[in-house]
A and B are shown apart, each in its own frame.
Chain A
């Protein structure tokens, strides 16, 4: 039994082991030795690179202008107090409120308008998974038969919900409009661009309307019902057919679930039209809110944020500070190490020399 097996082994061991670098564990190898000598310059270099980057980041972040309005309306003095108090899903008449504000600085470049929610757990597991990506990708079968993950937002009145799931159902539906009050008293509405706010790949690949290029979205959504909390069905989200149905960018932005319970999402872009005039000149503005979205029940907050954008994105002093800190620490460590190394080397070399 084992004999032939063993013989094989025996046969192998009879052969003289090959004298290859691999088998003799003698592969040529680079043997880096981390010494104070090699690490010290690295510390200095890191310090020297990081501190300027940090300063650059910090300055950039500081140059980004940001303006934030909390329009939740918790405070009785707030214009939206009534709307927030009298909220009802069934009310047919939308509640509107307008918040006046004053911009002290003109916004020169494109201005990005975000809405922010607080204490809204878009990253709750039950919530995150409550969607059907294949339905959103235009799959006819999933349109009629939403995935089980969408429960309890999969069917309503025995008809499949399109788009199904908790995420879609709770889509942010406040309408924000911005008016500029001229010093002479006239109110002009500032045009807001609703496209370019979602990832290109999401809009063009991941999200697709059912029925392919069928112009008649209403027909494509035949047999489905709108999400319970929506006021309009999906095919009436926008008049522009390129921004309607599942490929509505507001919808797509909402469907990208936020990482943290306090988050902001891109709402509109205010394009700069004229190089001569600032996008948003200094002055008085009014934010007109159609208050549809209740947040009081879960202690949430709603904000509207204007922000300019730099190469590093929105305003975030963290990166700059972190870079400056790490750079300085590295530099400092370099100095300390240099000191220690110098001192230690002197002490260490003596016995070495004597032993040699």
Chain B
């Protein structure tokens, strides 16, 4: 046992190979002479990070791992240890504030997790123990317990289904909370299990827990009365996952195999990898600059201090002697502590609060996306979802969009259009097909040319009826759902709206893919109705209204690699038939070649029309063939290791030598406003790449339909077809083509300036590039390294000069490869991936920003995305309006923060030249502390949440505005320099303005003089007002919140200063500011200098705004305002509220 646990502790590899053995009901068997009850973890779910005891140390440790926090901690410690000018409170308090707020936030989140955990852990569960039903708390379930679950309950742990209340040994499950797929999935009991579970003695051998939700390998040994144990294979269809919900089944019993933190759900719960935005990188770069400024300031001051002190009488005049301790200190140590002291004095130049403000801005700002009602889709009753708020501003920086086709550009709402049997076209006529397939009429088959042989026709339709995994919803269920509670069942979502009820017909079928339903319904139109699957028997109502029965022997499941699926059925007459349907490329090589040509024509025509095509084939299996296949399948299914590969081999072996029956065409309509969205995105200077697994023709037509390719776009194709044109080696041809295209698109074309959309209007030739998967893999993995790099470069250069790029026949991994390639190319452009299916997850994870569409292909894309939107059309507003605004907001926030701290600290630095480099702070400690926390933080936060320098409507109408902030335009070094110079200018004005005023410190009308604290307070007052008013000048969108916060901050400053100086503070050692502020206000000169300096500081800013205006974005805004004003009666400046 020790070894076992040791093994488990050591390398994960060993664990993976290791199987676990589970004794159902904890029965021991004489078979195993040394029965050691294996140790598994209990069913307690711990998603919380902290406990009451370790919260403080653990949380603090984690917080101080951040560089910034650590830096501030160091500063704080220096202040505590070394004799520094400012008390430790000045930096300790903000740090404490930040740490506390973060800790409270994290603590609260953890408390929520604790609560959720407790709810899950303490819920009662029925467990069969020694023949009795006992109630247990969920957390006490052990591996091997037999658990009973009733309808609509969630499974408390991962269970192997032993018994179902349904007769056919199945149960229905919805995994909505796991992967969002709300359709009902069928799970099966292990065959040959006795009804009486108590007398069941069996063991389960299965793999160690692994996170893949759709993989499970296991074996059950059933012992019956000293017989050789029977072995049953267990697959994912036997496994009920924790978190899934039991539907349509009264109750089930299952044995716990994985519990607690080892359930697949728990293993899947992990934080997504951190994506960092460009703004964050800019912040870090700026921070480095400011750190350099800080260090150099401290160095300059330290050096000058010792130069100054060298003059006799300066260091220690008679009026200011040092203490004995100071005299004794080593000179170099003193220099070092002096340096540290200066660092501490100037450390406010790197603000703690910036991190808090940026975090808050991102967190709060992301709510506007979730709140946007334009993102609400009435069909699925959901709005947008924000999974990470770290990337808000990145939405305004996108240069490349990678989009999936099916479900993203198109609706993934399939409709059967036509089919082709033996080369004859069958088209279902009638405008009724427009009405969402509402047409129930058993419309006559339109014979366009001739009919194929009746036998072939019927065989084809039977194939459509049989070769699928569609389930028919039970009539009782249907009645019930129509009756009392009509909210359930449809999609697991409450459907309140009458209009949202899917049409009667559609309700009948449940399937994981909409294609299948479309096909089954298509067959229904031609007279063959699928009635359902009952205990391995499929029933079909044929044209003569007879019920045909087929015994379902095997389902060879669909997978994206094979791109086909098959069923093996046995008809009443005893014939064993294999029906197979799949993509043409995967079917054609597996059928007799003479049949292919006739059908290929149709398939290609259909594909050009933008339909999804599937080919249908069948095969008679002789007894021997079937026996062989059956044997192979069973064996492969029982395999514990490499089951997938083994199964695949058997599948491939079985699915050969088939007869081609025909092909189907299913239409997948374009998403609403797909063309407009694409046009807007291209207008905004983004390059749109379509990455799809679909055929080139289908994808191409979709691209034309949504306007990515135009009539006059010259298409550059790099596909298997063009590569094989010359009949030469592919690679030579590839080289040739690439150079040719490169010459065409890159060398001959004038260089594209930012905002590629312009080319469109000035008659420049547009290029579209098409590449397919196989060609891409040649490009990416050429035989020689140098060639590969060359090809890659050529390929990228061509693509960068094309308006749209289409990559078809892409495997999911290839999609990610392309994204990665573009992401890492020169200039590292910001990429965005958008998709709805599991096959898009890899590219969603790879891109800078991943967007999931809440489509019909389950929720995997949504779960892995950074943002999820219901429809493609929402992307336009998400990028053009939200993204643009977020970027402008946060960019301004960052620049402003650095600026305001520079002009805060610069006077303090300059003051050192007048106080003998003695680290005397200019401002009082309270001001030093509060400046960033209270006086100047709120206005910029409000600005960064509410600013709309351009109206949302206007942003949406003028896509090209987006390109104005492209490439991190507002955080470029020039602008950073501008802000820095502005800060320096302001700092100089503040300091020297007051310095000249203090040439005569008798500033009161009673002749009394002001001291150093008055000096600092005047500078500080000018500072606070200038910095706030500078923001006010930049604010283009004054909501009441901005007014409140900006004027409120200033009022608060005045109020606080009065308050702070109005009392002799009992716990303060110094009463430095006692009545300083009030006395300052009683001096007319102080007033006058404050007003003068504020105005002088803002003067260049105002001047610049006026001069810059005609070229900036404001000009457009202005013309828009003019337009609006002319169309409105009142010439008010209010933002138009759209109707």
Contact = CB atoms under 8 A, between A and B. Distances in A.
A196 interface: yes
Nearest to B313: A298
A129 B1070 contact: yes
A14 B382 contact: yes
Contacts of A311: 1005, 1084
Nearest to B180: A10
A126 B1069 contact: no
B1103 A24 contact: no
B996 interface: yes
A302 interface: no
Given A57-B1088, A170-B319, A123 B120 contact: no
Nearest to B387: A9
A255 B314 CA distance: 21
B1117 interface: yes
A3 B1009 contact: no
A35 B915 CA distance: 44
Nearest to B1105: A34
Contact of A152 (B323, B1041, B1064): B323
B1070 A39 contact: no
Contacts of B113: 1, 5
Interface stretch (B523-531, B663-671, B1032-1040): B1032-1040
Contacts of A131: 1070
Contacts, number: 322
A353 B411 CA distance: 44
B370 A315 contact: no
Contact of B1002 (A2, A112, A121, A298): A112
A7 B265 CA distance: 14
A23 B1039 CA distance: 13
Interface string A203-231: 00110000000000000000000000100
Nearest to B1101: A34
A25 B948 contact: yes
A125 B1106 CA distance: 44
A1 B1110 contact: no
B920 A123 contact: yes
B717 interface: no
A33 interface: yes
A286 interface: no
Contact of B1000 (A10, A57, A201, A315): A315
Contact of A124 (B916, B948, B1041, B1078): B916
B11 to A, nearest CB: 26
B1000 A314 contact: yes
**Interface size of A as a range:** 35 or more
A35 B997 contact: no
Contacts of A149: 1069
A17 B1070 contact: no
A274 interface: no
Contact of B915 (A57, A124, A151): A124
A261 interface: yes
A323 B1084 CA distance: 14
Interface string B371-401: 1110110000111010000000000000000
B1001 A318 contact: no
A330 B120 contact: no
Contact of B320 (A112, A166, A197, A322): A166
Interface string B299-326: 0000000000000011001111111100
A147 interface: yes
Interface string B1074-1098: 1100110001110011001001100
B381 A14 contact: yes
Interface string A302-315: 00000101111111
A32 B1012 contact: no
A190 interface: no
Contacts of B1117: 33
A19 interface: yes
A17 B372 contact: yes
Contacts of B1085: 312-313, 316, 319
B1110 A169 contact: no
A179 interface: no
Given A26-B1137, A264-B1009, A310-B1005, A35 B45 contact: no
Nearest to A27: B1039
A13 B382 CA distance: 6
B992 to A, nearest CB: 10
B1036 A319 contact: no
A245 to B, nearest CB: 18
Interface string A273-310: 00000000000000000000010011100000001011
A312 B1005 contact: yes
B1008 A197 contact: yes
Given A151-B323, A315-B1000, A133 B1070 contact: yes
Contacts of A2: 47, 116, 265, 269
B790 interface: no
A31 interface: yes
B1135 A260 contact: no
B1011 interface: yes
Interface string B174-214: 00010000000000000000000000000000000000000
B449 interface: no
B1133 A259 contact: no
Interface in B977-1014: 993, 995-1014
Given A264-B1009, A314-B1002, A27 B946 contact: yes
A74 to B, nearest CB: 14
B119 interface: yes
Nearest to A344: B1110
Contact of A166 (B319, B1042, B1064, B1133): B319
Contacts of A153: 321
B1121 interface: yes
A26 B1042 CA distance: 14
Of B46, B1009, B1015, B1138, most buried by chain A (CB within 10 Å of CB) is B1009
A236 interface: no
A88 to B, nearest CB: 12
A170 to B, nearest CB: 3
B1036 A31 contact: yes
Contact of B1012 (A19, A147, A259): A259
B243 interface: yes
A134 B382 contact: no
Contacts of A24: 371-373
B918 interface: yes
Nearest to B920: A125
Given A259-B1014, A263-B1001, A169 B319 contact: yes
Contacts of A235: none
B319 A127 contact: yes
B1038 A128 contact: no
A16 B1134 contact: no
B47 A1 contact: yes
A19 B1138 CA distance: 12
Given A25-B948, A31-B1036, A199-B1075, A125 B918 contact: yes
25 contacts: A4-B119, A10-B177, A13-B385, A17-B376, A17-B383, A31-B1134, A31-B1135, A33-B1114, A34-B1105, A39-B1106, A50-B1092, A128-B920, A147-B1069, A153-B321, A260-B998, A260-B1001, A263-B1009, A264-B1009, A297-B318, A313-B1004, A314-B1002, A314-B1007, A315-B1000, A322-B1096, A337-B1106
Listed from nearest, the 7 A-B pairs whose CB atoms lie closest are A170-B319, A314-B1002, A1-B47, A259-B1015, A23-B371, A112-B1007, A125-B918
Interface of B: 45-47, 85, 112-113, 116-117, 119-120, 154, 177, 243, 265-266, 269, 313-314, 317-324, 367-368, 370-373, 375-376, 381-383, 385, 493-494, 914-916, 918-921, 946, 948, 952, 993, 995-1016, 1033, 1036-1042, 1064, 1068-1071, 1074-1075, 1078-1079, 1083-1085, 1088-1089, 1092, 1095-1096, 1099, 1102-1103, 1105-1107, 1109-1110, 1114, 1117-1119, 1121, 1133-1135, 1137-1138
Given A258-B1011, A326-B1092, A326-B1095, 4 more contacts: A13-B382, A152-B321, A152-B324, A309-B1005
